[in-house]
Amino acid sequence: MAFNYDRHIRHGKLPHIWCPGCTYGIVFKSLLRAVESMGIPKDHLALVSGIGCASRLPGYVDWNTLHTAHGRAIPFATGLKMARPDKKVLVVSGDGDATAIGGNHFIHACRRNIDITVIVMNNFIYGMTGGQHSPTTPVGHLATTMPFGNVDPTFNIPSLAQGAGATWVGRGTAYHVPALDRLIIGAIEHKGLSVLEIINGCPTTHGRRNKFRTPTDMLLWMKESAMPLSAFEKLPPDQGAGKFPTGVLYKREAPEFSETYFAMVERLQKQQEGREG
């Protein structure tokens, strides 16, 4: 039976703002399927975003949703999580939102290992503002603010997350959809800060200026370039160019911030009771 999205979509709020050929709708549906399969009640979920095309996603979802300022989703999410540590807090963000203007919040959330899932929908460009280069725009690509080809080096988002201390790091694509559902579930199930980069395509402001003639070309590029981590690691060093690994790229167990914090609270309150008793 076809999946019924109605339970999670806000009545009357579609159609979405995304352009024809944008892959964000694929991620949107994958997120809803993942959460539904996990059985998390809608009232227990908060979905927080910053600014950009990706950040419009929460408006369409019938959970507790918060569309904040550019780059600031993670601090707002941190406030929600620490106020209600028993709830699930998810962040959806774009490449510019998460790693440029929100870069400081991103790395510190990774370091803190607070139980928030950060989904970075990387479309390699500032789409909403019309195609300026972002920290993930490949070198050489055309952007409105790099009309002679991008000379600004890039971030590798999973490496950035891992280096900053995230305890679960993954990468999926908008092409590999069943795998994407599983990755989103894995990211949400993980206790601690999880970062899932999802490779997306922006045909309007990135693709058509960079030799992707159609939106399909961008999906085919994902199909050809993505490799499961295990296969990627087996590649001879000279054959990795143009390929990127997908799947769970990194995972470790570490104390989660809200648990550690409230364990401290409990300890202090017991000490106090001991003194008063």
Partner 1 sequence: MGTLKLLQGNEACAEGALYAGCTFFAGYPITPSTEVAEYLARRLPRIGGVILQMEDEIASVGAIIGASLAGKKSMTATSGPGFSLKQENIGFGMLCEVPIVIVDVMRGGPSTGVPTGPSQSDIMQCKWGTHGDHPVICLTPAYVQEIFSETVRAFNLAERYRTPVIIAFDEIVGHMREKIEIPEKGVLPVEDRRRPTCPPSEYKPFDETQGDVPPIADFFSGYRQHITGLNHASDGFPVNASPRIHTDELRLLRKVEGNRADIIRYDTVMLDDAEIAVFAYGVSGRSGKNAVELARAEGIKAGLFRPLTIWPFPEEEVAALASRVKAIIVPELSLGQIVLEVERCAKGRCEIQGIFRVDGDPITPAQILEKIKEVG
Q: Which residues here bind partner 1, judged by CB under 8 A? A: 10, 13, 42-44, 46, 48, 58-59, 62-69, 72, 74-84, 87, 104-105, 107-108, 261, 264-265, 268-269, 272
- CB of residue 34 to partner 1, shortest distance in Å: 19
Which CB, 34 or 114, lies closer to partner 1?
A: 114
Please give the Cα distance from 277 to 271 (Å, whole number).
10
Q: CB of residue 106 vs partner 1: minimum separation in angstroms?
A: 10
Identity of residue 130:
G
Min CB(195)–partner 1 separation in Å: 16
| Min separation Cβ 199 and partner 1, Å | 27
Least Å distance, CB 15 to partner 1, is 14
Instruction: Kindly tell me which of 84 and 243 has the beta carbon lying closer to partner 1.
Output: 84
Does the bond joining 15 to the residue before it have cis omega, within 30 degrees of 0? Answer: yes
CB of 8 to partner 1, least distance (A): 11
Query: Among residues 26 and 74, whose Cβ is nearest to partner 1?
Result: 74
Burial class for 179, CB neighbours closer than 10 Å (0-12, 13-18, 19+): middle
Do 98 and 111 meet the contact criterion of CB atoms below 8 Å apart?
no
- Asked if residue 90 lies in contact with residue 188, where contact means CB atoms within 8 angstroms, the answer is yes
- Select 60 or 126, whichever has its Cβ closest to partner 1: 60
**Residue 125 or 164 having the CB closest to partner 1:** 164
Are 183 and 248 in contact by the 8 Å Cβ rule? The answer is yes
Cβ neighbors of 103 (< 8 A, separation 6 or more) are: 71, 135
| Cβ-based nearer residue to partner 1, 61 or 218 | 61
Which CB atom, from 94 or from 186, has the smaller least distance to partner 1? 94
- Minimum Å gap between C-beta 130 and partner 1 is 17
Amino acid found at 77:
A
